[in-house]
Structures are given as C-alpha cells and as structure tokens.
Amino acid sequence: MAVYLNDVSRTFGEYLLIPGLTTKLCVPSNISLRTPLVKHKVGEMPAIRLNIPFVSAIMQSVSGPELAIGLARNGGLSFIFGSQPITDQVEMVRKVKKFKAGFVVSDSNLTPEHRLADVLSLINKMGHSTIGITDDGTSNGKLLGLVTSRDFRAEKDDHNMKVKYFMTPFDKLIVGQAGIALTEANQIIWDNKLNTLPIIDKDQRLIYFVFRKDYDNHRENPYELSGADKTLLVGAGINTRDYRERVPALVDAGVDVLCIDSSDGYSEWQSETLQWIKTEYNGKVLVGAGNIVDKEGFDYLVNAGADFVKVGIGGGSICITREQKGIGRGQATALMDVAQARREYQKKTGIYVPICSDGGLVHDYHMVLALAMGADFLMMGRYFARFDESPTKKLRIGNNYVKEYWGEGSNRAQNWQRYDMGGTENLKFEEGVDSYVPYAGKMKDNLAITLGKIRATMCSCGSITIEELQKQAKITLVSSTSIVEGGAHDVILKEQT
C-alpha cells in the first residue's frame, strides 16, 4: 500500500513572519548575512562561507562567467552551467578565476612582429585590451613592451602596422620585480598613476600583471567573495554521466565547489558520483547534491558524501516537473522537513550540513521565510536572469524590455544529462519552458534593494544573523483572505507617470 503523508504541501506564499523584539542592536548596518556553503563540524569554520546567502541557478540562461563575476564581487557565488561541452565550461571557469587575482597571469600576448590586426583580433577574442609583448608571444616570454587601447586608433591606423612601431617599449615601462607584495605593487601603481604594472623576473621574463582596476573594484565591493589567492570563488554544475572526465577538467581550471545538477537527486547515480569524487580526491573537492524534498533524500545524499544539499522539485518559475510527472512538494513544506532532518543529523554526528533552497521564491520576503525555515542559502534563476550580467539577449516586446529565460528541462536547453532516467541519450519530454522575464538592469543596483529588504525584515524579527533568525523567527500560516488584505485594497491607485 502507498504511503500517505498527512501534512499539506505548502508554499512560501502561505506564511508570514511575526515581528520579534527589535532591540537597539537590530539596525541594518549590524545585520550579517554570512552563511556556510559547505558542511563543517559544529563550532568550526566551513571551508567556504558566503557573504550573502545567494547562489545562481545552474542554467544556460543564468550562470555564465559575467554573472559569476558580478555575483562573487557582491558576496554570492555562481554555479557555471554544465549543459555544454566540458572545454566550454572549463573556459568559463577560467575566465572567472582570472578576472581578479591580484597577480594575474597574462592570457593576451603577442610578439613585436605581429600586426595591429592581430591586436584587434585578440582584444575581440579575450575581451580586454592590455597585451603583453614578449619575444616569443607567450605569457612568460621576455617582456619587450606593452600595448593598451591608448597606443593605437583602430579606425585610422593601418591594420598592417607592426606592433613594434606603436607599443610602449620596455625601457619606458615601470615594472615590479618577482616576489613583490601585492600592497607594494598597488602602491607603485598609485604613486605613478598607472593602470597596469608588469611583474618580471631577474631575466626580464613576464610573470604577472597587477591592475589598478582590481584594487578599485575591491574597495567598491567590500563583500567580495574571494579566496586566499585573491581569485573570485566560482562553482560549476556537473552531471552523473561524464563526471569522470568533467570533474578533473574543472578542478584543473580552479573551480572552488561543484554541484550535481538534477531534477531528482534521490538516486543511486548521485550516490555513485559523490563517492567517486570523494574517493578520487581524498575528500578535498567540495560537492553539493540534490534536488530532494524530504528526510529520506537528505539522509541518503549526506551519507553518500554531499557537502550541501539542494531542496526543491518543481517550484521554479519555468519548471513543469509537477505538471508533467506529478512529482514534487510545496517548497516551504519540503524545506521545513529537510531542516528537521538536518537537525537530527547534526545532533547525531556533530556535523552541520548546509541546505540550499532552490525554487518557489516569488517575492523578496519569501527569501527571509526560506532562511527562517532552515535554508542557509538560496539558489535563484529567474531573479538573476533579469540582469545585464546574465548571458541572454535583451529584447523589446511592445513597450517593455525583457530577457530570455528558459529551463534546463526545455527543448532549447536539450539537457538530457539532467533529466534523462537512463537508456538512450535524449530528452524524452520537457520539464521546463522557454520564456521571458522583465529586464531589470544592473545586478548590483537590484541586489542592494533586495538585501536592504532582507536586513529590514530581519531587524523586525529581532535577529542580526541568519543563525539567530532560524532560532528566533515566529512564522504563521495565513488564509487566502488575509493574503488579499496584505496588499493594496479598497483604494483607487494612481497611475504611475
């Protein structure tokens, strides 16, 4: 006989937070949104902590390198989508890791005998205009000069002109010597009003570049999520089919954390993938798993080695898994059930396993509800797809600007690794749709508003950390009538001009 659960499957929209005592300490500037990304022993620090509780969804229409850079600079983390060739995903990870490293290995180099046309081609390919000119055109050749956008006029200069005639030659460069501290390098940049400082060894070979913009970016982004080597942190999605080839390539590229991407994570395939990674890398490669919606799924993945567990099936705005398969659970109910399982596991083992809530967020206040119900961080697709930094096109439809947004289970994504249940390698039916979302502009501006709302709500709950919120929050069910009451009603709204 089938097992029947008596609890109703509920969503975030059916709950409200009850205010707690707002003390004089509960002001937005005192709110800390730092949260663990991976499991750790109680009382010890996790290997990775987020500075804001946001990660971006493992989707083609969301998590490209530009969004990964933007989110990490603001304190969160992106998982570069895995529904693409391994080499392409690796290159996206490398692009994020190279963006800000303090000391940056040059990936744009030419010889003095190259021509302006080669410079323009390299700029177009790599996306940045500082080019090291070395004797052999490599990143570690003898430094002979430097080319930046100030050294030529693409619209007027002869594209056949050789680099040696317009580069800034070595004898006119200010350089740093190998072994210099980053603070000292930044001081040289500041004192000499430079944009770029080449770092060379005793044989004049190019070792690194240090960029002024990296220093400025760090000051403008105090919550930036970076490692001990000053590189931005970035994750990557993997599947349970080609992980033996994909994972080593991603690790070599410098990826900081992995996540197995699946619409249903309670499977032997995920267990095998987790165990292989943990055995192959002696537990040093961090990997999350999911998605699941109950205690059984949580226990299964944690016992297999998951460093965090992703909760949610069918709650995403473009997901139709529940409609197609009748599989899933209301996101609020699923999250509360898994959070209880996490508490039991922690009591038994002394290990805290972070929970990621994936899907079901319609309004910003739902984010606080999810955190209060036990989530340590939130994975969002639609939210990030609206921004300039997402990889999709901005279109004008009627009088409105929109961005394209499609699910990984849609025909457009053709992501059979994520949704196929075995057998032939094809997508048998869709579990996601192809859609648009309203264009919202720059990520940083929108994040500031959202995070401001979260901090204000936490103040009203009397909590200055996410951990306090989870312990102190009071949550109530609401009726359909009170939901109507919560919005503007019984008035005639003025038209927005």
Structure tokens, 346: 């922690």
Q: What pLDDT is stored for residue 99 in this prediction? A: 79
pTM of the model: 0.80
Q: Which of 250-254, 373-377, 429-433 has the lowest mean pLDDT?
A: 429-433
Q: Is the pLDDT of residue 492 over 90?
A: no
Using an 8 Å Cβ cutoff, are 146 and 131 in contact? yes
Give the span between the Cα atoms of 133 and 171, in whole angstroms: 13
Give the span between the Cα atoms of 449 and 364, in whole angstroms: 10
Tracing tokens 């059979």 back to the chain, one arrives at: 416
Nearest to 250 by CA among 260, 265, 236, 239: 236
Percent share of the chain, pLDDT over 90: 74
228 by Cβ neighbours in 10 Å (0-12 / 13-18 / 19+) ranks as exposed
Q: Is the pLDDT of residue 146 over 80?
A: yes
Give the span between the Cα atoms of 379 and 134, in whole angstroms: 44
Q: What pLDDT is stored for residue 294 in this prediction? A: 97
Query: What is the pLDDT confidence band of residue 323, given thresholds at 50, 70 and 90?
Result: low
Q: What pLDDT is stored for residue 320 in this prediction? A: 60
Q: Which residue has the higher pLDDT, 475 or 149?
A: 475
205 by Cβ neighbours in 10 Å (0-12 / 13-18 / 19+) ranks as middle
The residue length of the chain stands at: 497
Q: Which residues are CB-neighbours of 127 under 8 A, at least 6 positions away?
A: none
Question: Looking at residues 478-482, what average pLDDT do you find?
Answer: 83
Q: Which of 101-115, 433-447, 457-471 has the highest mean pLDDT?
A: 457-471
The 10s digit of each residue's pLDDT in 261-316 is 998 899 999 999 999 999 999 999 999 999 999 999 999 999 999 999 999 997 66
Using an 8 Å Cβ cutoff, are 310 and 360 in contact? no
Kindly report the average pLDDT of the chain as a whole number.
90
Q: Which residue has the higher pLDDT, 134 or 216?
A: 134
Query: What is the pLDDT confidence band of residue 246, given thresholds at 50, 70 and 90?
Result: very high
The 10s digit of each residue's pLDDT in 397-418 is 989 999 988 766 555 555 544 4
Q: Which residue has the higher pLDDT, 105 or 424?
A: 105
Q: Which CA distances in Å does 48 have to 34, 51, 225, 447? A: 10, 10, 9, 21
Structure tokens, 396: 């004008």
Question: Looking at residues 145-157, what average pLDDT do you find?
Answer: 93
Q: In the structure, how many helices (H) and strands (E) does the chain have?
A: 16, 24
Tell me the H-state helices in 353-440: 364-372, 382-385, 416-419
107 DSSP 8-state letter: -
Question: Looking at residues 42-54, what average pLDDT do you find?
Answer: 98
Q: Which residue has the higher pLDDT, 215 or 120?
A: 120
Q: Which residue has the higher pLDDT, 433 or 98?
A: 98
Using an 8 Å Cβ cutoff, are 464 and 31 in contact? yes
The 10s digit of each residue's pLDDT in 330-352 is 999 999 999 999 999 999 999 99
Q: What pLDDT is stored for residue 266 in this prediction? A: 96
Q: What pLDDT is stored for residue 228 in this prediction? A: 86
Phi then psi dihedrals of residue 123, to 5 deg: -60, -45
Query: Among all residues, which ones are annotated catalytic?
Result: 319, 418
Q: Which residues are CB-neighbours of 307 under 8 A, at least 6 positions away?
A: 38, 39, 257, 286, 287, 288, 353, 354
The 10s digit of each residue's pLDDT in 3-44 is 888 889 999 999 999 999 999 999 999 999 999 999 999 999
Q: What pLDDT is stored for residue 418 in this prediction? A: 47
